[in-house]
Structure 1
Amino acid sequence: LYTCKRTGRRLIRIMTLSMRVTDNPAEVYRGADLGVLAAVLIRSAIWDAAGSQKNDYDPESVKGNEGSSGRISTLQTSRDIAVDTCVEILSCYRLYTSAKKSPPAQLVLPESLQLLPLLILSLRKSSLLRPALAKGLGYAQSPSPTCDDRCFQQHYAMNVSPAVATLLVHPNVYCLTSMESSDGTMYTPSPVDMKNRSMGSSDEVDYEPYIRLPHPIHPSMSCLNDDGIHLIDDGFSLYLLVGNRVSGEKRNQLFATTNSNTSHNSDCLDISTTSDFGEKVGNIIHQLRTFHESRFTYAPLVVLSDSLDSTVHSHTPTENAIESSSNNSYEGILLNLLVDDPTSHEKGYVDFLCSLHRQIRNKVMSETYAETHGGF
């Protein structure tokens, strides 16, 4: 146990033994786990945003951003480092695997890291790193996210589990009005269903019953319909987005009004348990809340709808109790959740891929030239 002279932090010195895992770089990429990598990248990005040392990053690229303590603390720097890390990972794949035989104009991604560029772009757009944008009209503008919201999410993200790391920056969106008949129902896998699993069929965990979930769709405004009901899961909360053109019959199948013992509100909104549609939605919500044991908190259910009375809240202790979001925060919440859409400070996914490809190609060309000519 000692104190670092450079940072003043109390550290524990641990002596470790370096052992070679493999001498084939392709095996490293083949065995890469996107969830684990996402957790590492998210924690590193937050640490960089909180304040990294000058010599941890090029000081010339962030000249003028360092404080009197010699520490760099900007969200823009952290976003740039995340992209540089992605370029480094994918460039090494092109240089040291069979992908080096591919045409230079082709963007080649390892099979296990196909979603790495999307993860990096979503991280840049998430509330963890994106700039605070003003929301509201007139003089009553407030930043989004607020300082408290950003600190709250960064606090949990520093201890994020690989099981929910990608969910933290890229929410899952489910369309509930186009579910298959088996979605939202209990299912118990059989040995025949599990024969293609990598784990042994004798593992009892594989045979535990679970609720079937709908196939997720892209978190983009283009995938949301005014006549549809969508469930959005960002790892912290569950948002029930009810379109303006959803029929009254469908609303009655989804919601139920119950009595509350509180004096200030006698009518409470809850998920219906008497209709088949409401029961399936309730099962899906229960599965999302209990599937990941490493969830940060118990996910509340928040309704996003212009046509619902924003003063109706649920004060009952039921599992599917509902909180209604006011119309003022409706736009800000969607801005945080729909990370596939371009924003005023970030490119769309296609433009980001093109920019990423150019950086990878330039780095590969410079590394190849250095190896051929023995350095610059």
Structure 2
Amino acid sequence: MATCLLQSQLGGKLLIFQNTLPSLGYGRLKLRGDDIRVYGTDKEHTLRLPEDPFYKQMAADLTKYQIGVNIYAFSDKYTDIASLGTLAKYTGGQVYYYPSFQSNFHGEKLRRELARDLTRETAWEAVMRIRCGKGIRFTSYHGNFMLRSTDLLALPAVDCDKAYAMQLSLEETLLSTPTVYFQVALLYTASCGERRIRVHTAAAPVVTDLGEMYRQADTGAIVSLFCRLAIEKTLTSKLEDARNSLQQRIVKALREYRNLYVVQHRLGTRMIYPESLKFLCLYGLALSKSVPLKGGYADAQLDERCAAGFTMMALPVKKLLKLLYPSLIRIDEYLLKPSAQADDFKNIMKRLPLLAESLDSRGLYLYDDGLRFVIWFGRMLSPDIARNLLGPEFAAELSRVALTENDNEMSRRLMKMLKRLRESDPSYYQLPYLVRQGEQPREGFLLLVNLLEDQMGGTVGYVDWIMQIHRQVQQNA
């Protein structure tokens, strides 16, 4: 409250560093925690909602005074991210989550991400409105903002690391114009104090053939919208209902496409989909296994689930797709190449399917979801490679080993690779987690659980998921 009063004449950005549950003064919270008895009941979603209406009201006041909030949470104990994150959600901010923070390990990540937060180009005191042509209208908006009126998004602080999704509907059964137009206008104050307006205008053709619309579909945009809708669903329903709702959206889209061609092509029981949507089912599976949606009580801590939800609601499309289906690449062959070939970086960036069978026990693999690196050492990897990369501790338990640059070409090449990957998207700083094949439970929660095409822990694999969707598409087709 005091900070709000101090900044009310200036606006700006408020950074909250939280390591315990707020227990004093306004907005104090109870240790409600995660209750296994609530999961699967109609009250389950209340765990993911703010406990006290104070936080949403506080966010409304902060927005009125043009103050954006970013939350930095550090504790491994329950701190009610569901409540604290509301401040970021409605002020255009974001949540940074560092569970079990240790300065000697997480310190560099915090330093880099805090520096990014403070120095990236930011638009202040912003409002955004999106307009569209005759015959269509926007019906809902999704992301981190305060909706000031039916179509005006209040954004006290906005930057390039945020994205928003909107749904539109047709007001007329048949559009009479060959083209429809969309225009996004952002009115804001630049850091130099100038009041500016930025306008983006796009034109989209109107087609008479529904099949052509499917062929031009943008999977990234669809997944980005589905993600936000699914996360919002978890705030009003059970996790299972949110996953089922996501699956039904995919089924409905593919069923409509099948119905266009079922007679003329005599499809029988075959499953068809447009080339543009060939990865839609895969991303749907990835989303259903993501931290905000997966499993139940035992599959993610409540704070972890809520923090991931706040993060994914704000991510741009490219970043979101990488988080949902991360990169898995084999890197030992690249590290062993002669120096003359070491710059051939793109050739080794061939992504492998997220399956256990992609891992060779003689190899070294890098898993990158955009938020962290996991480096997996195969059980039969050459000891020379491990020694070059890890130094004298190469045979120790890897949870106790820090990855640093050693005085050899292989180590320098690995560190250079990680640096290039970080520089390709500086919005988050990926720390390297090291794990050796067979080190349990570390290998399980760092990597194996993220091999989402596999059937694991009661969840379906990609083949079973496709079969489920195929059967449902055929029903009433």
The 10-residue stretch of structure 1 (78-87 or 90-99) with the greater mean CA deviation from structure 2: 90-99
Distance 1:100 1:11, change over 3 A: farther
Are residue 32 (structure 1) and residue 217 (structure 2) matched?
yes
Which residue of 1 is the match for residue 230 of structure 2?
Answer: 45
Q: Which among 368, 372, 376 is matched to residue 233 of structure 1?
A: 368
Which residue of 1 is the match for residue 165 of structure 2?
Answer: none
Work out whether residues 403 and 432 of structure 2, in 8 Å CA contact, stay in contact via their aligned partners in 1.
no
The whole-number CA distance in structure 1 between the counterparts of 2:338 and 2:211 is 39
The whole-number CA distance in structure 2 between the counterparts of 1:217 and 1:178 is 14
Which residue of 2 is the match for residue 314 of structure 1?
Answer: none
Q: Tell me by how many angstroms 1:225 deviates.
A: 2.0
Are residue 124 (structure 1) and residue 288 (structure 2) matched?
yes
Which residue of 1 is the match for residue 476 of structure 2?
Answer: 363
- Using the aligned pairs only, state the percent identity: 21
The whole-number CA distance in structure 2 between the counterparts of 1:97 and 1:83 is 22
The whole-number CA distance in structure 2 between the counterparts of 1:145 and 1:38 is 22
Are residue 342 (structure 1) and residue 455 (structure 2) matched?
yes
The whole-number CA distance in structure 1 between the counterparts of 2:465 and 2:209 is 30
Q: Tell me by how many angstroms 1:303 deviates.
A: 0.8
Are residue 148 (structure 1) and residue 303 (structure 2) matched?
yes
Distance 1:27 1:280, change over 3 A: farther
Which residue of 2 is the match for residue 174 of structure 1?
Answer: 329
The 10-residue stretch of structure 1 (13-22 or 221-230) with the greater mean CA deviation from structure 2: 13-22
The whole-number CA distance in structure 1 between the counterparts of 2:404 and 2:343 is 21
Letter in 2 for 1:301: P
The whole-number CA distance in structure 2 between the counterparts of 1:32 and 1:272 is 48
Distance 1:252 1:344, change over 3 A: closer
Work out whether residues 94 and 100 of structure 1, in 8 Å CA contact, stay in contact via their aligned partners in 2.
no
Distance 1:10 1:161, change over 3 A: closer
Distance 1:41 1:10, change over 3 A: closer
Q: Which among 379, 390, 401 is matched to residue 255 of structure 1?
A: 390
Are residue 12 (structure 1) and residue 156 (structure 2) matched?
no
Letter in 2 for 1:251: A
The equivalences for 1:305-320 within 5 A come to 305=436
Are residue 352 (structure 1) and residue 452 (structure 2) matched?
no
The whole-number CA distance in structure 1 between the counterparts of 2:147 and 2:279 is 37
The whole-number CA distance in structure 1 between the counterparts of 2:405 and 2:218 is 37
The whole-number CA distance in structure 2 between the counterparts of 1:177 and 1:21 is 50
Work out whether residues 355 and 451 of structure 2, in 8 Å CA contact, stay in contact via their aligned partners in 1.
yes
Distance 1:169 1:182, change over 3 A: farther
The whole-number CA distance in structure 1 between the counterparts of 2:266 and 2:314 is 38
Are residue 108 (structure 1) and residue 272 (structure 2) matched?
yes
Q: Which among 239, 243, 246 is matched to residue 75 of structure 1?
A: 239
Q: Tell me by how many angstroms 1:110 deviates.
A: 0.9
The whole-number CA distance in structure 1 between the counterparts of 2:417 and 2:431 is 14
Work out whether residues 256 and 271 of structure 1, in 8 Å CA contact, stay in contact via their aligned partners in 2.
no
The whole-number CA distance in structure 1 between the counterparts of 2:240 and 2:432 is 32
Q: Tell me by how many angstroms 1:150 deviates.
A: 1.2
The whole-number CA distance in structure 1 between the counterparts of 2:403 and 2:373 is 15
Number of equivalences: 276
Which residue of 1 is the match for residue 66 of structure 2?
Answer: none
The whole-number CA distance in structure 1 between the counterparts of 2:403 and 2:267 is 58
Q: Which among 327, 338, 349 is matched to residue 214 of structure 1?
A: 349
Q: Which among 288, 296, 302 is matched to residue 421 of structure 2?
A: 288
Q: Tell me by how many angstroms 1:331 deviates.
A: 1.8
Distance 1:32 1:281, change over 3 A: farther
The whole-number CA distance in structure 1 between the counterparts of 2:411 and 2:262 is 51
Report the aligned-residue RMSD: 3.2
The whole-number CA distance in structure 1 between the counterparts of 2:328 and 2:407 is 22
SS in 1 for 2:476: helix
The whole-number CA distance in structure 1 between the counterparts of 2:243 and 2:229 is 11
Letter in 2 for 1:303: L
Are residue 274 (structure 1) and residue 408 (structure 2) matched?
yes
Q: Tell me by how many angstroms 1:290 deviates.
A: 2.0
SS in 2 for 1:363: coil
Which residue of 2 is the match for residue 315 of structure 1?
Answer: none
Q: Tell me by how many angstroms 1:130 deviates.
A: 1.0
Q: Tell me by how many angstroms 1:279 deviates.
A: 3.4
The equivalences for 1:181-200 within 5 A come to 185-186=342-343
Gaps of 5+ in 1: 1-8, 52-72, 134-142, 188-209, 259-266, 308-325, 365-376
Q: Tell me by how many angstroms 1:77 deviates.
A: 0.4
Distance 1:224 1:271, change over 3 A: farther
The 10-residue stretch of structure 1 (150-159 or 335-344) with the greater mean CA deviation from structure 2: 335-344
The whole-number CA distance in structure 1 between the counterparts of 2:413 and 2:263 is 45
The whole-number CA distance in structure 2 between the counterparts of 1:268 and 1:95 is 56
Gaps of 5+ in 2: 1-145, 153-167, 172-179, 181-204, 394-400
Structure 2 length normalisation: TM-score? 0.52
Which residue of 2 is the match for residue 299 of structure 1?
Answer: 430
The whole-number CA distance in structure 2 between the counterparts of 1:45 and 1:279 is 42
The whole-number CA distance in structure 2 between the counterparts of 1:298 and 1:255 is 21
The whole-number CA distance in structure 1 between the counterparts of 2:411 and 2:364 is 12
Distance 1:91 1:334, change over 3 A: same
